A = this chain, B = another copy of it.
Amino acid sequence: LKPLLCANRQVLLRSRPTGIAQAENFELVSGLIPELQDGQILVRNHYLSVEPAMRGWIADIGNYLAPVAIGEVMRSIAAGLVVESKDAHYAVGDAVTGWFGWQEFAVVTADRIIRKVTDNDLPLSLSLGILGINGLTAHLALTKIGLPMPNETVVVTTAAGAVGSAAGQIAKLMGCRTIGITRGAQKVDLCRDLFGFDVALDYTAPDWREKLLLACPDGIDIYFDNVAGPISDAVHGHLAQNSRVIICGTASIEDWSHWPQGPRIERHLLVKRARMQGFVIFDHQDDYPASITQLATWVRTGALRYQEDILMGMECCPDAIAGLYRGENFGKRVIRLV
């Protein structure tokens, strides 16, 4: 392995996009791997994660994390194996997932590691998706904000996506009726056939709003919102009394630097005594272990299904975020390096 260590391909942020990050905002370079200091760990990345949220991590206007600086390695979660360690808690060969960035090798301290991956009967890539922040987000946002009760009606946007598909299935496991909103006939089929949504709607169909109304005659108890924008506007009009709206993402808004306008929400919230609440998974790290245990159990029994969209090689990184927003992926997008 040692000869390899002098070359570490990395993807740097080269310029800051105003809207969605495009390939030209990134650059693939060859870096070096420094000697390990005491307390450091060298991880070889096997899989890099690609998230819709990455757009926010590089935006200039502030977010729940400080923006990635120009010239820095692109921030990402990754999964790999420890290949050298000067931290007694980590041994060569340990599988880990953490904040390792879009690069082949990462020199990190333990605080950058999210967890050791010990469920080794399952593919390592799952630690970035259904057993990573996507599954955790779906599970913890539902159980902490959504509070699903049997027979409630749950609407999920980006329903074929990594978070949405998990949210729909977990709501169903908790006894809810689920309505998935997605784009295109192929994803509608995926929502219904693989992810078990009771109803799947294509928001590009001209009559999807009428179909939504027909699908929720008693109103919507939980809206798991990953998009904001006009799709949400249609959902808000059907909220049931005491409903809960999880604000988990705003994928439909291309650019917050020209703040978008929409129908004011206050009257819906007041008349329906509804609750709308933002959710950021990184606030809930104490709940990861129990949630991962639950998610892994469901995955093993087949109760919780997932789909992966695996790109091969570092060269795929620069365009990978833009591709997500073009909607080209079916399932959790990861980049395989090894």
Contact = CB atoms under 8 A, between A and B. Distances in A.
Interface of A: 62-64, 225, 228-229, 232, 247-250, 253, 256, 259-280, 283
Given A256-B267, A261-B261, A276 B273 contact: no
A277 B269 CA distance: 6
Nearest to A56: B271
Copies in the complex: 2
Nearest to A228: B266
Contact of A279 (B63, B247, B268, B270): B270
A265 to B, nearest CB: 6
Contacts of A270: 64, 247-250, 278-280
Q: Most chain-B Cβ atoms within 10 A of its Cβ — which of A228, A248, A249, A270?
A: A270
A278 B283 contact: no
Contact of A277 (B64, B225, B276, B279): B276
A278 B265 CA distance: 10
Contacts of A225: 266
A153 to B, nearest CB: 19
Given A249-B270, A269-B276, A228 B264 contact: yes
Contacts of A272: 278
Q: Give 4 nearest A-B pairs by CB, closest first.
A: A269-B278, A270-B278, A228-B266, A275-B277
8 contacts: A247-B270, A250-B267, A253-B266, A273-B279, A273-B280, A273-B283, A274-B277, A275-B277
A275 B263 CA distance: 18
Nearest to A225: B266
A260 B249 CA distance: 24
A260 B260 contact: no
Contacts of A63: 271
Q: Most chain-B Cβ atoms within 10 A of its Cβ — which of A262, A265, A266, A272?
A: A266
Contacts of A256: 267
Contacts of A228: 264, 266-267
Contacts of A283: 273
B261 A264 contact: yes
A271 B62 contact: yes
Nearest to A263: B259
Contacts of A62: 271
A253 B247 contact: no
Contacts of A274: 277-278
A249 B261 CA distance: 21
Q: Most chain-B Cβ atoms within 10 A of its Cβ — which of A64, A263, A269?
A: A269
A256 to B, nearest CB: 5
A42 B264 CA distance: 43
Contact of A253 (B249, B262, B267, B277): B267
A193 B106 CA distance: 60
Nearest to A277: B275
B273 A264 contact: no
B263 A261 contact: yes
Q: Most chain-B Cβ atoms within 10 A of its Cβ — which of A250, A268, A283?
A: A250
Given A62-B271, A63-B271, A261-B261, A266 B250 contact: yes
